[in-house]
Amino acid sequence: MFREKYQAVLAEYEKFWERKNFTRPILNITYPLPNTTPYRAPINPEEKYIRVEYRYNQFKHTVASTGYLAEGVPMCFTNFGPGCLAAAIGGNFVLSDRTIWFDTKQIITDWENPPTISFNPNSELWSKIIEAQRLYASDPEIHFSITDIGGIMDVVAALRGTENLLYDLYDYPNEVKAFTKEVKAQWFKAFDQQLSTVRDANQPYNNWMNIPSSKPWYPIQCDFCYMISPNQFEEFILPDLTDQMNYMERSIYHLDGVGELPHVDMLLDVPSLTGIQWTSGANQAPLWDEKWLPLYKKIQDKKKNIVLLGGISEHDLEGAERLIKSLDPTGFYISFGCSSKEKAEEILEKITLWSR
């Protein structure tokens, strides 16, 4: 199923990446098939997150229970927690009901004697990542992603503690920069290892955003920058982000909430950045709200792509119409779920009409 579907839609996704989809946005639409039920709930966090067989069976069940429309394509996200690199370079991980935590063991306790770090592909959690991807690759019907390596400074924050790191930007700026450089080197090693896994399996490149690509790419991010000034962003964050953008052939920045908006102009000025994925955050207007149209137009004016995950609601088609009619479909990607096939087909028809 996946390879047949992938071949059919890859050309459309390439149009998105190359900014050549002129008729309507790229749409990853899903809906539940009738008479289906969710897969059984995990019995504990271990099964939910690190029992590979459970994860595999859960994904197979989800695909069998889901319909896909337009450029919708099933993808098995190799999800072992956001920022899992931390657990592969000396940190640890703690399972909870809702996520995997990587900030419970702060290995940076003294900047005069920072720890030596090295990417260890045989570490406990990373070994599970490889085990899962080998299982996925053995199934010709599965399209799987690379894992969520995390943002470089976010990994540093996990190993130091976010509050401590905020003070360190003032008290130990040179030490922070030196250690961040080491983390960046390990980040690239982990990224290359994941690219190799995908390449060996003859798969398209993908990740948690579920946007297939014929060329390597990654959603770079820095959630830590929500809490710092534009000057600090420019000094401590932007150079490493730029190195990441330059390293890969395509990149989307995960702009996570209103606290990151002061940095968006600097990001848009990086030539190698492909686009922006906007997440408005808790208690903020939904992505299709007209409040965000100036941001979207700013992004498009810079000839960058826009990614909206959950960017349309079937309960607010007036907002969806305003969004689609206000923006250029070129380089525009929207994913969303609908309650039924009929509703999904209705919205697809309307979006196609609104895009003319």
How high is the mean pLDDT of the chain? 96
- The C-alpha atoms of residue 208 and residue 301 are separated, in whole angstroms, by 26
The residues that bridge with 67 in the sheet, in sequence order, are: 31
CA distances from 90 to 49, 104, 126 (A): 20, 12, 12
Q: Residue 256 domain-assigned?
A: no
Q: Both tokens of residue 143?
A: 């399209």
Q: Give the number of domains in the chain.
A: 1
CATH number of residue 25's parent domain: 3.20.20
The residue-averaged pLDDT of 43-71 equals: 96
Q: Residue 63 domain-assigned?
A: yes
Q: Residue 342 domain-assigned?
A: yes
- The C-alpha atoms of residue 143 and residue 204 are separated, in whole angstroms, by 8
Which residues neighbour 56 within 8 Å (Cβ) at sequence distance 6 or greater? 132, 135, 136, 139
Q: What is the pLDDT of residue 1?
A: 55
pLDDT digits (tens, 9 = 90+) for 10-53: 999 999 999 999 999 999 999 999 999 999 999 999 999 999 99
- In the predicted structure, residue 3 carries a pLDDT above the cut 80: no
CB 345 within 8 A of CB 220: no
Q: Residue 6 domain-assigned?
A: yes
Q: Residue 28 domain-assigned?
A: yes
Could you tell me what percent of the chain has a pLDDT over 70? 99
Q: Both tokens of residue 225?
A: 């920058």
Q: Residue 279 domain-assigned?
A: no
Other beta carbons less than 10 A from residue 293's beta carbon: 14
- The C-alpha atoms of residue 289 and residue 323 are separated, in whole angstroms, by 7
Q: Find tokens 């009738």 and name the residue.
A: 34
The residue-averaged pLDDT of 167-193 equals: 98
- In the predicted structure, residue 118 carries a pLDDT above the cut 90: yes
- The C-alpha atoms of residue 35 and residue 27 are separated, in whole angstroms, by 25
Binned at pLDDT 50, 70 and 90, residue 4 comes out as confident
| Structural domain span for residue 12 | 2-246+325-354
Q: Both tokens of residue 150?
A: 């995390």
CB 283 within 8 A of CB 313: no
Other beta carbons less than 10 A from residue 41's beta carbon: 8
